[in-house]
Amino acid sequence: MRCPFCGHEDSQVKDSRPTEDGAAIRRRRQCEGCAARFTTFERIQLRDLFVLKSEDRREPFEREKLMRSVSIACRKRPIDAMRIEKLVTSIQRQLETLGDSDIPSQRIGELVMDGLKELDSVAYIRFASVYKDFREARDFEEFAGNVAEVGKG
């Protein structure tokens, strides 16, 4: 594993332990070049996934992008980071078990919307406002009204 500080090729694992949700292994490493310590995570990957964009582009799936999008939607909300991590892991597992390596970006958006709807209504609306590309305040108001109605029922 390359050191993020000095770029040295070799590092030594000092400690390994599973993450709280058991979906990854956390490894503390020490660079053999500069002695700096850093953490890496090892996750199970069932298959290589590719995202099919609306412009007919195909790019590798990046868990970090998914995590960033969900985290932005959940920013300043009373949501434990572990719950966000579990949601992202759940979405990734669903994608890996769909049976196809090429996943339309719309499908990923739908899974995120479904997950956020269960997690937090404000985060759900935030994500939807970007995902559904609201053009006017009226679009946002209508969507938020529908969410409020669902929450009452």
**Structural domain total, the chain:** 2
Domain shared by 51 and 108, yes or no: yes
Q: Bridge-partner residues for 33, per DSSP?
A: none
Domain shared by 5 and 50, yes or no: no
Is 149 a residue whose pLDDT tops 80? no
Domain shared by 35 and 78, yes or no: no
Is 153 a residue whose pLDDT tops 60? no
* Burial class, 109, CB count within 10 angstroms (exposed 0-12 / middle 13-18 / buried 19+): middle
Higher pLDDT, 68 or 133: 68
Average per-residue pLDDT for the chain: 89
Measure the CA angle with vertex 77, ends 73 and 82; round to 5°. 85
Q: What's the rounded mean pLDDT across residues 3-17?
A: 95
Q: What's the rounded mean pLDDT across residues 62-79?
A: 96
Is 54 a residue whose pLDDT tops 50? yes
pLDDT in the model for residue 119: 96
Domain shared by 123 and 105, yes or no: yes
- Token pair, residue 132, equals 């559904």
Q: What's the rounded mean pLDDT across residues 41-66?
A: 89
Q: To the nearest whole percent, how much of the chain has pLDDT over 70?
A: 95
Domain of residue 90: give its range.
46-152
pLDDT in the model for residue 151: 54
Domain shared by 74 and 97, yes or no: yes
pLDDT in the model for residue 122: 92
Domain shared by 62 and 118, yes or no: yes
Domain shared by 6 and 79, yes or no: no
Helices (H), 9-120: 63-74, 81-96, 105-119
